[in-house]
C-alpha cells in the first residue's frame, strides 16, 4: 500500500473526548444520551447541545475521525473498508449471489458511515417521502415538509459560473450554510463527462437539472459530501473540534461498546440507562434524565433492542434473553440495494486506473493534495448518475403485479459511470484503461432480517440476511439495468473512445445466462433500512417499532433515529435522507414532542 503523509494540526487535546480506557463514573447522569455518534447521532447530539442548559452524552463504539488521512482525502475512501474504521460485518451466504457471504460496510468511527462511505449525497425522490407520510399518516414527512430539514444541514458549493455548469443544479432545493455538511459537484473538466452526457441524449435518457430536486429519473450531475477538497461528514460539521471545545455540556465517549439498555428499577417499560463496555472491557452504566436516543444504525440498533429484551419473543427466548416487550418487527423488514459493476475498456488515457495501481502516480496527486487540497484525489471517479425505470409495458407487470416503487417518478434502478475499473468481484488488470457502470436495484420488494448471533448473543456481531435478489422483481430490474447499461455504452458518443465490454455480451441473449453473470458479480451491504421501522401512531406496538415521533412504541424514555426507522427502501443513497430525519428528530425533542 502506498504510504500516505498529511499535515494536520492536533485537535484532540482540545476537545472533551473521553480518553481510551477512561470510564465515566456510574454516578454521572445526562439529560440526553445518544447511542451512536454516526450520521444521525452526531447531528442530534450537536443540535440538542445548542441549549447550554442541557447536557448531552454521545457513546460511540469507534475512535475519533480527527486527523485520519483515510477519512479525509475523498479518493482513498475504499481504504476504510475492512479497517478499524469499519464494523467488519458480513452477511450470511446469499443463494442468489453464488452462495457467497457479502461484506456489509458500517462506519466504526465518529461520524459513522458518513465518515467512510463514497460520499454520494442523495435525499430520495419526493415520492418516497410522500409514501412515508401516507403510510404513517403524518403529513410532516411529505417532501415539501422535509425539504427545510434537508436544506438546514447543507452547505452547497456552487459550481463554476461557466456555460458547462450553467444548468447543473437548482438553487431552490439547496441550503447554503457554510458551516454545515458540504455538497459539491465534480467540476474538473475530465474527459468522461462529455460522452457520459451525450450518450444519454443519444439513447433517450432525459437530462435532470438537479438529482436532489425530488424528480431524479434521468441523468444528472452527481452530488458529493465534500468541501474544500476534503470529506465533509456528520462528524466534521456537527462534532468537530471547535464545537466540542466550546460546549462543556456536550461529551463524547469513544471506543465504548453499548451492550444493552436497562429499564428503570420498579418499572419494566421506561428505559433511561445505557450499559456499555469501555475500552478496557469494564461494564459501565450511565443514565439519562430525559431520553435515550438510539442511533446505532440499521444493524446495531435492532441488536441493542433485542439484547435489552425488546424484540420478537421467540427469538429472545431462543437466546436466553428475558422478554420485556414482545416487538415482532424488531430486526425484520431489512431492505437493501443490491449492486453490480460492468466494465468496458476504453482508449482514453486519462482514467483513474493508474492512480490505483501505480504508486508514483498516486504520490504525485497526493503531493498536490497535501499542498492545496486540489487535484484528482478530491474526487471519487464519478461525475454523473442515472436513475431509471423499467418500461411501463414490461412483462413483469402482466398479471396484475404491483410496482413496489413509490410512484411513476421514482426510480427502479441506479446507474453511475466511473472513470476506472470498479468491479469488486474481479481483480483490476495490471494495464489498460477502463470505465465501469455501477448498477443498483433501487425499488426492491425483498425483505431480509437482522438477528442475534446464537453463539454469542450478548456481544457477537449481527446475523445479517438481506436475501439479495430473492424476488423475481429484483432479478428483473437488475437484468433490465444491465441491458440498459450495455445499450448506453453502445451509443455513438462512446465509439470515439472505443468502449468495449470486458464481459461476454452474449449473456444478454438469455435471462438464465444474465442471471448467472449477475450472481457471480453482484454485491450489497451499503444502504439498508427498516429493521426498527416506523409505522402509524395508532398501529399496534409490535407491528412497527417506532411512531412518527420516533418514540419506541410501548415503552417510554427511548427514541430511535437512524436508517433502521425507514419503513421502505430509500431509492437513492441513504446518507442525505438520514441527515434530514436527524434534523427533524432534533426539532421534535427540543419542542417536547
Task: Return d(Cα 176, Cα 305) in angstroms, integer.
Answer: 37
Task: Return d(Cα 72, Cα 89) in angstroms, integer.
Answer: 23
Instruction: Using DSSP, state whether 194 is helix, strand or coil.
Output: helix
Contacts of 505 (CB under 8 A, 6+ apart): 486
Instruction: Using DSSP, state whether 86 is helix, strand or coil.
Output: strand
SS (H, E, C) 132-183: HHHHHCCHHHCHHHHHHHHHHCEEECCCCCCHHHCCCCCHHHCCECCCCEEE
Q: Beta partners for 463?
A: 451
Q: How many CB atoms lie within 10 A of CB 360?
A: 8
Kindly list the distances between the CA atom of residue 524 and the CA atoms of 75, 401, 461, in Å, as whole numbers in the listed order: 21, 25, 18
Angle at 450 between CA 447 and CA 453, to 5 degrees: 150
DSSP codes, 84-141: TTB--EEBPPBGGGTTB--EE--B-STTGGGGTS--B-----HHHHHHHHHHHT-GGG
Instruction: Using DSSP, state whether 223 is helix, strand or coil.
Output: coil
362: left (phi over 0), alpha (psi -120 to 50) or beta: alpha
Active-site amino acid positions? 527, 573
Task: Return d(Cα 177, Cα 38) in angstroms, integer.
Answer: 21
Known binding residue 330? Answer is: no
- Which residue, chain included where needed, has cell 426507522? 565
Of 562, 491, 476, 539, the closest CA to residue 203 belongs to 491
Of 571, 593, 592, the closest CA to residue 132 belongs to 571
Angle at 218 between CA 232 and CA 530, to 5 degrees: 60
Phi (first) and psi of residue 380, to 5 degrees = -120, 15
Is the distance from CB of 210 to CB of 173 less than 8 angstroms? yes
Question: Would strands 226-227 and 218-221 be described as parallel, antiparallel, or unpaired?
Answer: unpaired
Known binding residue 258? Answer is: yes
Q: Kind and range of the H or E element at 240?
A: none
242: left (phi over 0), alpha (psi -120 to 50) or beta: alpha
DSSP codes, 195-213: HHHHHHHHTTPPB-S-TTS
Instruction: Using DSSP, state whether 127 is helix, strand or coil.
Output: helix
Kindly list the distances between the CA atom of residue 158 and the CA atoms of 155, 169, 223, 388, in Å, as whole numbers in the listed order: 9, 8, 11, 26
Task: Return d(Cα 311, Cα 532) in angstroms, integer.
Answer: 10
Q: Beta partners for 284?
A: 276
Task: Return d(Cα 285, Cα 26) in angstroms, integer.
Answer: 6
Q: Residues annotated in the binding site, as ranges?
A: 109, 258
Binding residues for FAD: 109, 258
Amino acid at each position: 500500500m502506498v504510504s500516505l503523509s498529511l499535515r494536520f494540526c492536533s485537535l484532540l487535546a482540545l476537545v472533551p473526548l473521553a480518553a481510551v480506557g477512561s470510564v465515566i463514573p456510574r454516578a454521572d447522569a445526562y439529560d440526553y444520551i445518544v447511542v451512536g455518534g454516526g450520521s444521525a447521532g452526531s447531528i442530534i447530539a450537536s443540535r440538542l447541545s445548542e441549549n447550554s442548559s442541557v447536557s448531552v452524552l454521545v457513546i460511540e463504539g469507534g475512535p475519533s475521525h480527527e486527523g485520519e488521512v483515510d477519512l479525509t482525502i475523498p479518493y482513498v475512501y475504499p481504504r476504510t473498508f475492512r479497517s478499524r474504521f469499519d464494523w467488519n460485518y458480513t452477511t450470511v451466504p446469499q443463494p442468489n449471489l453464488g452462495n457467497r457471504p457479502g461484506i456489509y460496510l458500517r462506519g466504526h468511527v465518529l461520524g459513522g458511515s458518513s465518515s467512510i462511505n463514497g460520499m454520494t449525497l442523495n435525499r430520495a425522490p419526493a415520492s418516497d417521502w410522500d409514501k412515508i407520510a401516507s403510510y404513517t399518516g403524518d403529513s410532516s414527512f411529505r417532501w415539501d415538509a422535509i425539504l427545510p430539514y434537508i436544506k438546514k444541514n447543507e452547505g452547497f458549493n456552487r459550481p463554476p459560473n461557466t456555460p458547462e455548469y450553467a444548468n447543473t443544479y437548482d438553487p431552490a432545493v439547496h441550503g447554503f450554510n457554510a458551516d454545515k455538511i458540504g455538497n459539491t459537484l465534480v467540476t474538473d473538466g475530465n474527459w468522461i463527462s462529455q460522452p457520459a452526457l451525450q450518450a444519454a441524449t443519444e439513447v433517450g435518457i432525459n437530462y435532470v437539472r438537479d438529482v436532489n430536486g425530488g424528480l431524479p429519473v434521468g441523468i444528472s450531475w452527481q452530488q458529493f459530501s465534500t468541501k474544500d477538497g476534503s470529506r465533509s461528514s456528520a462528524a466534521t460539521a456537527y462534532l468537530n473540534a471547535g464545537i466540542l471545545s466550546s460546549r462543556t455540556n456536550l461529551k463524547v465517549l469513544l471506543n465504548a461498546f453499548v451492550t444493552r439498555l436497562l429499564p428503570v428499577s420498579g418499572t419494566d417499560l421506561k428505559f433511561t440507562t445505557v450499559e456499555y463496555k469501555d475500552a478496557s472491557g469494564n461494564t459501565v452504566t450511565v443514565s439519562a434524565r430525559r431520553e435515550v436516543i438510539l442511533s446505532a444504525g440499521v444493524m446495531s440498533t435492532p441488536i441493542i433492542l433485542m439484547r435489552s429484551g425488546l424484540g420478537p419473543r421467540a427469538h429472545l427466548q431462543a437466546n436466553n434473553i428475558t422478554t420485556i416487550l414482545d416487538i415482532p418487527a424488531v430486526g425484520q423488514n431489512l431492505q437493501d440495494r443490491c449492486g453490480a459493476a460492468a466494465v468496458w475498456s476504453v482508449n482514453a488515457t486519462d482514467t483513474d486506473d493508474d492512480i490505483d495501481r501505480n504508486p508514483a502516480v498516486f504520490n504525485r496527486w497526493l503531493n498536490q493534495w497535501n499542498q492545496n487540497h486540489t487535484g484528482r484525489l478530491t474526487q471519487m471517479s464519478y461525475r454523473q448518475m442515472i436513475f431509471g425505470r423499467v418500461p411501463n409495458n414490461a412483462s413483469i407487470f402482466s398479471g396484475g403485479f404491483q410496482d413496489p416503487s413509490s410512484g411513476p417518478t421514482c426510480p427502479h434502478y441506479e446507474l453511475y459511470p466511473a472513470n476506472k475499473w470498479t468491479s469488486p468481484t474481479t481483480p483490476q488488470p495490471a494495464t489498460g484503461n477502463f470505465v465501469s457502470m455501477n448498477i443498483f436495484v433501487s425499488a426492491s420488494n425483498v425483505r431480509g432480517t437482522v438477528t442475534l448471533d446464537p453463539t454469542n448473543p450478548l456481544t457477537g456481531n449481527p446475523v445479517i440476511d438481506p436475501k439479495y435478489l430473492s424476488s423475481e422483481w429484483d432479478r428483473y430490474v437488475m437484468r433490465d439495468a444491465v441491458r440498459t447499461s450495455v445499450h448506453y455504452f453502445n451509443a455513438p458518443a462512446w465509439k470515439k473512445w472505443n468502449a468495449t465490454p470486458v464481459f461476454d455480451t452474449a449473456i444478454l441473449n438469455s435471462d438464465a445466462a444474465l442471471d448467472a453473470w449477475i450472481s457471480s458479480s453482484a454485491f450489497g451491504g451499503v444502504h439498508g433500512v427498516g429493521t426498527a421501522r416506523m409505522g402509524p401512531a395508532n398501529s399496534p406496538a409490535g407491528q412497527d417499532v417506532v411512531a412518527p415521533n420516533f418514540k419506541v412504541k410501548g415503552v417510554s424514555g427511548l427514541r430511535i433515529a437512524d436508517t433502521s426507522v425507514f419503513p421502505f427502501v430509500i431509492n437513492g443513497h441513504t446518507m442525505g435522507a438520514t441527515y434530514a430525519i436527524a434534523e427533524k428528530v432534533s426539532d421534535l425533542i427540543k419542542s417536547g414532542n
